[in-house]
Amino acid sequence: MTTITRAAVEAALRQYLDPHLNLDPVSAGCLRAVDIQGEQVTVRLELPYPAAQFKSGWAQILKTGLENLDGVASAEVQVECVIQPFVTHAPTLAGVKNVIAVASGKGGVGKSTTAANLALALAREGARVGVLDADIYGPSQGIMFGVAEGTAPGNNGKQFFPIQAHGVQVMSMAFLADDKTPMVWRGPMASGALLQLITQTAWDNLDYLVVDMPPGTGDIQLTLAQKVPVAGAVIVTTPQDLALLDAKKGVEMFRKVNIPVLGVVENMAVHICSNCGHAEHLFGEGGGEKLAAEYGVDVLASLPLSMSIRSQADAGAPTVIAEPQSPIAMLYQQLARRVGARIAQGGAPAMPTITISDD
């Protein structure tokens, strides 16, 4: 009879790579307990990112691997998700563990749509999520989350209470002004408004606050970087050369202010004809990968140019809510898990350890 040891259990777990952390569960520090009772093994793991849509399948894969060990009759793998706050020396934001900036170098690349679907996907993965519409001049999150025109957030004279929509806490300048009234403000006024929205909103115990940034690299971006402990930035671009040029400026800006760039989201990567199935790269090909390679970050997601993404967001029910089992929604879920994993790793993807032996 083969005696099962903890070392053998750990060795078996090391054979499997977590696709989001890019490490095996032992090297990633996810292993919390190993209980061996005769021929039965129970393992408890803690993932540092939200993964409600992933953890049961991951547990089953690891269970099968453990049961292939000599001497193991049955195995149980328990997987929990524990999200920790971003570690920083700056003052933390009340009620928020992690702030994620979703940014782009230019407008029209799908940044706001990405921010909305990312927030909803994080919520579906089991996290408590809020969205701050920091695009003071062109707020759109209210529409995307289906908030009726004229809806105003509650307040107690000192703080605003975010509006609840699709299980997400949402705050936007659009809730405090008429939809048809433009914000004709100079930079310092817009920056002050952003700071008030962030600090005077009573965020309720959020794991993640997704901030939909305005395009560019101006006052509002600098205000966020200087006043708020941002865990990381997601750069949204299209494969088009002009968009990539501006996206590079966004990456450089976040690096100069010491905010980790979590990765790149490539929008409108390919269009597939709904009639014949022909795939065409309308805005170029491979641009997001080139940008990511140049700056040593990952392509977190590559999304198609799809009418459904646009129409569902316009209707107040983004793809993650409208078609949660669709292939596009699954891409957003994977994006959410990768973003959470990058934050847990301090911003950069971990590289797997390669060992060479004579065996």
Residue 255 clears pLDDT 90, i.e. is over it: no
Higher pLDDT, 40 or 197: 40
Indicate the SS3 state at residue 184: coil
pLDDT in tens, 198-247: 888 999 999 999 999 887 766 777 778 778 889 999 999 887 666 677 77
Average pLDDT of span 265-289: 66
255 φ, ψ (degrees, to nearest 5): -65, -35
Residue 105 clears pLDDT 90, i.e. is over it: no
Average pLDDT of span 73-80: 96
Note the pLDDT of residue 151. 87
Domains of the chain, with CATH numbers?
Answer: 6-81 (3.30.300.130), 96-344 (3.40.50.300)
Query: Band of the pLDDT at 132, cuts 50, 70, 90?
Result: very high
Of 15, 4, 13, 25, which Cα lies nearest the Cα of 74? 4
Of 241, 252, 281, 266, which Cα lies nearest the Cα of 109? 266
Average pLDDT of span 339-349: 83
pLDDT in tens, 186-198: 656 777 777 888 8
Give the H or E element holding residue 132: strand 129-133
What 8-state DSSP symbol labels residue 157?
A: S
Residues 6+ positions from 256 with CB-CB distance below 8 Å: none
Q: Could you identify the residue written with the tokens 């307040």? A: 155
Higher pLDDT, 351 or 259: 259
Note the pLDDT of residue 356. 42
The per-residue pLDDT of the chain, averaged, comes to 85
Note the pLDDT of residue 354. 39
Higher pLDDT, 102 or 139: 102
Average pLDDT of span 106-111: 79
Least confident of 82-86, 131-135, 223-227: 223-227
Burial pattern 35-52, b for ≥16 Cβ within 10 A else e, equals: ebeeeebbbebbbbbbbe
Considering the entire predicted model, what is its pTM?
0.89
Note the pLDDT of residue 282. 53
pLDDT in tens, 296-315: 788 898 888 888 888 999 89
Note the pLDDT of residue 348. 53
pLDDT in tens, 167-178: 999 998 888 766
Residue 253 clears pLDDT 90, i.e. is over it: no
